[in-house]
Structure formats: C-alpha cells, structure tokens
C-alpha cells in the first residue's frame, strides 16, 4: 500500500498537471494589460460616471441609490471593527463587515465625492490592517477581508495619502497575498491550500478575494501579484467546472449564491483591470447558471433549499451580471426583486433589458450532475403547483442525507418543507466522518424521503449518489424518476422513486423497493400545516392559512398515515442551540417486513375532488 506521503505527492502532481493543461494558453505575463489608473476593481471611472448620470436621470435608479445613502449614514455612526472570533473559529463576520462597509462607502465616495465616506472607511481599514492576522486558519476570512481591502484601496484611491496607500498595500500583502502564497505552495501545516483546487465555494471565495487584492496593487508588487493572479486563474476552473453542464450547483442554492457572487467578483475584476478573464467565463455551464436560481425558486418565493441552505429567495446582483454578460434578458421577467438593493445591484443593473418577453422558459427542467428537477404548473402565478425533487450526492460539500427528497408549493403556500441547515456552531457540525450525521436536520429522517430500518444510523449511506434516470415534460404532465438504491444498499437491493406532476393539478409520489430480506420502511414528509387524519388514516387533510390540501395513500391498501413530531431521536445529541423545529409535523407511513413493495401517494388541493386514475399509478418502468 502506498504511504500517505506518496499519495499526497501524487495528488499534488496530478493537480498541477491538470491546472497546466486547463490554462496552457496563458500569456507569459498576465499583467501586461493592467489598467494603470484607479478605480479598476469591478468598476472603472467611466462606470461610476454612468452611475452618477443614472442618479440624476433615472428616478427608479435614484430610489435604490437612496437606500445606499441611508446605509452609508448608518455606517458613519457605527463603531469601528475590532478583532473578534466569537466561536473560536471564524473572523468571518468582521471580514464581511469590512467588505460591506468598503463597498457602500467606496461607492458613495465615487458618486458624491464627499470625503466623509473615505474618512469613515479609513477607520475600519486602519484598525483591520493592524490585526495580528486575518485568521488564515479559516481562509474564507482572509479571502473576504482581502476583497474588502481591495475595494477600499481602489475605489477611494484618490483620497488616500501616500502613507495610507502604503499601509493598505502592506496589509494586503502581509495578511492576504503572502498567506495565500504559503497556502498555494503548501508551506504550512495549517495553511495547506486545499481550498485552492477544491470544487466548491471555498475555491471561489478564497481565490476571488485574493485575486482582487492582487489586481488592486499589481503595479506596486508586480512579481508577487503576477504569481498570485496566475494561481487564481489556474485554480478557479476546478470549481467553475462544477456548474457544468447546465448551471446547477450541488451545494444548494445558498452556496450557489455565495460561490457565484465571488466567481463574478473575480471575473469582473479581471475584465475591468486587465481587459480579459482568460476564458474563465466560457467554462461549460457557467453561462447557463442564471437559470438555476430561477428554477429553484417556487411560486411562493421560497427556494428548494436542499443541503445547508435556508429557503430564502435567491438572485440579486449576481443575476443582473449574468443576464448582462450572457444576454439573457428573458430571465429578468421570471425574477422579481424583493426591493432590497446592494451596490452591485446598482453597478450591474439590468433594467434596460427586463422588458424583453420574446422567449418563454419551459415549465420544467432537469439539472444534470447536481441531479435536481424543478416542475411547475405555471410561471407568474403565486398559486401555481411546484415541486423541487432531487437525487444528488450525499458526499457533496454541505450536503444532507436527502437523496429522494422534495418540496411542494400550491395555493400560495409551501406545504412540504425542507427544514434547512442546522446551527453551524453545534459541536463538530461539519465532521462528516461521524458527528454531523447525529443531528436531526442533516439525517435522512428529517427529509421528505424514505428511511429503512430507522434504528440504523444515519438513514442513508453517507457516500451514496442518486441519478435521475428518467425525466419527461409535456404540456399535460411532467415527471422524474430517481434511482435511490445506493442510499439503502445495506437493507435493499433496489429503491426507485418517481414524482409526477399529473395533469398539472396534483402530485403523485411512487416508490418501488426490493429488499434483501424483510425490512421496515418509513415514508416521511414534513409540513407546517395542521394535519387531520381521515378515512381511517388513509387520507390526511393539511390546513394552512385557511387553505387545504389532501394527501391520499393509493397503495398499498394496508398502509396508513401517522403523525410524528419533527424532533431528534432520543439517542441523538440535543445540545444547546439545536433547532426545535417548532410548528412542523412529520407525516409518516410505516410498513414492516417489506421484501418487495410499493408506496403510492397523491397530494392535491382539496378542491380537486377526483382521485387520480391515470398512468402514473402503473410501475415506474412504464412511465
């Protein structure tokens, strides 16, 4: 067997070889086209000049600008940042505060020319530049702080004295770029650059923030910044390729937003500072990723929040940039802003294109690799029927054990919910080798899926993958079928789940299973509705905000619903800070000694009185 040291060496050489081949057409000097003047990170002087004109001439834009003025006034009164790691791990809240303050204050300085914004920005920059470090043990903190300093240095460059510029540059180099270089080269036992080539959000956030810092001071530190930018450009494809082939993100929508916004930050910075992003924006899938938040948002404006995500609506500034970059004006009509506005919303505003209604998006979509499906009865109808359904990969970053899970909207409400992420500060929440899977919200039993022999931990195989093996959409119906067998390999030979939106009025969930020996199967969904069992438990009436849905067991004849609490198992730890899941009921079907069987459930509005009798009641192979 190869020793660990040789495995690490082989892995390193393999990654270097791949990185070279991904970027073997890079020019000898990546900085030869560097824009000499400031600002040049994300926006230039001409961009800010355009913003000034919009403030004067565009009333709708001015309303959003007033939000920034109000935010700026709040920052002027706020206390100066200080070094704080309240959870013993992250400086991240401080890094984000610096970043957000610099974006707001830098933007207002550019638009108004009022030095009070730069003077307030200096208080934070001066304080943070004197921190002992920017917490490289949790390198997201370094990435975000470096990005904040890049904006502060670049957007308020004309206000800074020579001494101030030197202080800011030294902080970017000492706390940001040099730490990143140590990580890139693997020269530290705790700063190993595992994040540099990883395929999830840490890559984009760390590389993106560090890259912005290098571009901000590149003319003053050309050798160092050339090396940093080269690492950034070579490493980003490891993450960006995970948008392929069609724009989805397996970490869930929350981390789609985080990862994508930082991807856009560095792509926009490379373009504004150098005039090129070296082909990074052309990597397969990224041009389509604007579709992902559109399809993952239900008619209730709540997202399909698989993995460590909440169900807040997603979109915002990143969507505006993507719409402009890839000429997707038709997407704008499917996303209504919640009215909040950020600096990036103003810089990347796509209002000129939102009225193009020439193209209609299909009602349904299957995102490959992420293995996620979205189905709905209508666009632009708050009462539409919507289902988000997933296969996926239990070993994906931030994943839960949720293969086969789904959410359901109808009548303007979310009836079947994903509980979302647990408290990140719980003991060893990210310890995927064990502790993470003891928490209710990460386990299979907390998701709207199947659990076999529930006394076994943790409900699904933690390394299992489930593929959508069939997907079909038509004006009348839509359906998807997922092979869940790998999730239950210890108990079952095969498990397959199909979910259909039948006649665009009701949802059919059909599960088929074959076991190695008799097993107990538990069918779960979680709902915020009040649940009343009728027809001897074969039906459940769900009531929410005066509206009603009905769940009916169509097979097997012996099955009955039961109502359980959405609480952890008695054997699971319940430390302080764990979510109590108040107001959530767990609707369950429990069958024992199943070697071969099926469960078929119909969910529909009570007003749809007829019970479904069509083809989705037949075996999945006939769908």
β-pair partners for 603: 507, 551
- Verify that 277 and 385 share a domain, yes or no: no
Token pair, residue 302, equals: 């709540």
Quote the mean pLDDT of the chain: 90
- Verify that 437 and 586 share a domain, yes or no: yes
- Among 353, 385, 409, residue at a domain's last position: 353
- Verify that 377 and 349 share a domain, yes or no: no
Q: HEC string of 146-176?
A: HHHHHHHHHHCHHHCCHHHHHHHHHHHHHHH
Report in angstroms the alpha-carbon separations of 77 from 74, 145, 149, 611. 5, 21, 20, 62
Helix (H) and strand (E) counts in the chain? 16, 16
In this prediction, residue 74 has a pLDDT band, given cuts at 50, 70 and 90, of: very high
Output the pLDDT for position 345: 86
For residue 469, what is the domain's CATH number?
2.70.98.70
More confident call, 241 vs 569: 241
- Segment 5-28 shows an average pLDDT of 47
Output the pLDDT for position 5: 35
Token pair, residue 535, equals: 């027809």
- Is there a contact between 295 and 374 (Cβ–Cβ < 8 Å)? yes
- Verify that 455 and 597 share a domain, yes or no: yes
Q: CA-to-CA distance for 74 and 114, rounded, in angstroms?
A: 16
- Verify that 302 and 375 share a domain, yes or no: no
SS3 414: strand
Helix (H) or strand (E) holding 19: helix 4-22
In a domain, 358, yes or no: no
Q: CA-to-CA distance for 623 and 621, rounded, in angstroms?
A: 6
- Is there a contact between 218 and 225 (Cβ–Cβ < 8 Å)? yes
Q: What is the pTM of this model?
A: 0.92
- Among 324, 353, 382, residue at a domain's last position: 353
- Is there a contact between 147 and 206 (Cβ–Cβ < 8 Å)? no
- Verify that 376 and 328 share a domain, yes or no: no
Non-local (6+) Cβ contacts of 546 within 8 A are: none
Cα of 464 vs its chain's centroid, Å: 21
Q: CA-to-CA distance for 144 and 213, rounded, in angstroms?
A: 10
Helix (H) or strand (E) holding 592: strand 585-605
- Verify that 443 and 500 share a domain, yes or no: yes
Query: Residue 192 burial by CB count (10 A; 0-12/13-18/19+): exposed, middle or buried?
Result: middle
Residue pointed to by tokens 């099926």: 598
- Verify that 398 and 289 share a domain, yes or no: no
Output the pLDDT for position 571: 53
Q: CA-to-CA distance for 98 and 344, rounded, in angstroms?
A: 16
Structural domain including 420 reads 366-622
- Verify that 482 and 564 share a domain, yes or no: yes
Output the pLDDT for position 16: 39
Cα of 542 vs its chain's centroid, Å: 30
Token pair, residue 309, equals: 């995500």
Dihedral angle of Cα 339, 144, 100, 75, to the nearest 10 degrees: 150
- Is there a contact between 587 and 551 (Cβ–Cβ < 8 Å)? yes
- Segment 30-50 shows an average pLDDT of 97
- Is there a contact between 307 and 400 (Cβ–Cβ < 8 Å)? yes
Over the Cα atoms of the chain, what is R_g?
26
The model's pLDDT over 227-257, given as tens digits with 9 standing for 90+, comes to 999 999 999 999 999 999 999 999 999 999 9
SS3 540: strand
Output the pLDDT for position 4: 35
Number of domains forming the structure of the chain: 2
In a domain, 360, yes or no: no
Would you call the peptide bond into 458 cis, given omega within 30 degrees of 0 as the criterion? Answer: yes
Backbone φ, ψ for residue 579 (5° rounding): -70, 130
Max mean pLDDT range (7-11, 415-419, 452-456): 415-419
In a domain, 361, yes or no: no
Token pair, residue 89, equals: 């791990």
Query: Residue 215 burial by CB count (10 A; 0-12/13-18/19+): exposed, middle or buried?
Result: buried
In this prediction, residue 496 has a pLDDT band, given cuts at 50, 70 and 90, of: very high
What is the percentage of the chain residues whose pLDDT exceeds 70? Answer: 90
Q: How many residues are given for the chain?
A: 623
- Verify that 372 and 343 share a domain, yes or no: no
In a domain, 148, yes or no: yes
SS3 508: strand
Output the pLDDT for position 578: 86
- Among 297, 318, 353, residue at a domain's last position: 353
In a domain, 10, yes or no: yes
Nearest to 96 by CA among 131, 128, 118: 128
Q: CA-to-CA distance for 272 and 45, rounded, in angstroms?
A: 11
In a domain, 61, yes or no: yes
The model's pLDDT over 128-171, given as tens digits with 9 standing for 90+, comes to 999 999 999 999 999 999 999 999 999 999 999 999 999 999 99
For residue 226, what is the domain's CATH number?
1.50.10.100
In a domain, 117, yes or no: yes
- Is there a contact between 596 and 514 (Cβ–Cβ < 8 Å)? yes
- Verify that 286 and 415 share a domain, yes or no: no
In a domain, 122, yes or no: yes
- Verify that 532 and 572 share a domain, yes or no: yes
């Amino acid at each position: 067997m190869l020793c660990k040291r040789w495995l690490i060496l082989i892995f390193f050489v393999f990654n270097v070889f791949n990185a070279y081949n991904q970027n073997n057409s890079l020019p000898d000097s990546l900085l030869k086209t560097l824009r000499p003047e400031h600002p040049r990170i994300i926006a230039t002087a001409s961009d800010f000049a355009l913003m000034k004109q919009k403030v004067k001439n565009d009333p709708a834009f001015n309303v959003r600008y007033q939000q920034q003025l109000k935010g700026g006034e709040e920052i002027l009164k706020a206390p100066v940042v200080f070094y704080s790691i309240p959870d013993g791990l992250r400086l991240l809240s401080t890094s984000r505060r610096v970043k957000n303050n610099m974006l707001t204050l830098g933007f207002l300085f550019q638009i108004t020319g009022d030095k009070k914004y730069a003077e307030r920005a200096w208080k934070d920059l001066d304080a943070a530049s004197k921190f002992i470090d920017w917490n490289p043990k949790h390198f997201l903190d370094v990435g975000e702080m470096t990005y904040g300093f890049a904006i502060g240095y670049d957007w308020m460059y004309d206000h800074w004295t020579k001494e101030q510029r030197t202080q800011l540059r030294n902080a970017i180099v000492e706390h940001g770029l040099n730490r990143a270089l140590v990580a890139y080269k693997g020269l530290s036992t705790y700063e190993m650059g595992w994040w540099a080539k990883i395929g999830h959000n840490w890559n984009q956030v760390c590389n993106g923030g560090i890259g912005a810092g290098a571009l901000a001071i590149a003319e003053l530190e050309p050798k160092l910044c050339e090396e940093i930018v080269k690492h950034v450009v070579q490493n980003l494809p490891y993450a960006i390729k995970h948008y392929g082939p069609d724009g989805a993100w397996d970490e869930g929508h929350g981390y789609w937003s985080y990862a994508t916004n930082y991807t856009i930050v560095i792509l926009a910075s490379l373009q504004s500072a150098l005039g090129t992003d070296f082909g990074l924006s052309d990597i397969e899938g990224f041009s389509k990723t604007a579709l992902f938040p559109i399809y993952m948002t239900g008619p209730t404006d709540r997202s399909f929040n698989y993995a460590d995500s909440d169900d807040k609506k997603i979109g915002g500034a990143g969507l505006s940039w993507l719409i402009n970059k890839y000429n997707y004006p038709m997407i704008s009509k499917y996303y209504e802003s919640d009215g909040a506005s950020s600096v990036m919303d103003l810089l990347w505003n796509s209002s000129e294109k939102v009225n193009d209604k020439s193209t209609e998006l299909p009602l349904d979509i299957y995102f490959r690799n992420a293995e996620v499906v979205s189905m709905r009865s209508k666009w632009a109808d708050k009462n539409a029927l919507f289902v988000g359904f997933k296969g996926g990969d239990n070993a994906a970053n931030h994943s839960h054990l949720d293969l086969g899970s789904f959410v359901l909207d109808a009548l303007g409400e979310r009836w079947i919910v994903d509980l979302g992420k647990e408290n990140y500060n719980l003991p060893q929440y990210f310890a995927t080798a064990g502790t993470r899977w003891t928490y209710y919200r990460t386990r299979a039993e907390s998701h709207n899926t199947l659990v076999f022999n529930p006394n076994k931990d943790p409900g699904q195989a933690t390394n299992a993958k489930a593929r959508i093996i069939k997907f079909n959409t038509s004006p009348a119906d839509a359906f998807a079928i997922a092979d869940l067998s790998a999730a239950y390999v210890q108990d079952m030979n095969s498990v397959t789940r199909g979910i259909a939106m039948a006649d665009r009025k009701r949802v059919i969930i059909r599960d088929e299973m074959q076991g190695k020996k008799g097993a107990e199967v538990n069918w779960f969904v979680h709902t915020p509705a009040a649940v009343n069992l009728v027809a001897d438990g074969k039906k459940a009436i769900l009531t929410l905000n005066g509206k009603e849905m009905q769940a009916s067991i169509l097979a097997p004849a012996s099955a009955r619903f039961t109502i359980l609490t959405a609480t952890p198992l008695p054997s699971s730890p319940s430390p302080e800070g764990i979510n109590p899941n108040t107001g959530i009921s767990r609707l369950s079907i429990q069958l024992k000694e199943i070697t071969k069987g099926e469960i078929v459930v119909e969910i529909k509005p009570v007003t749809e009185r007829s019970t479904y009798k069509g083809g989705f009641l037949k075996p999945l192979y006939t769908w």
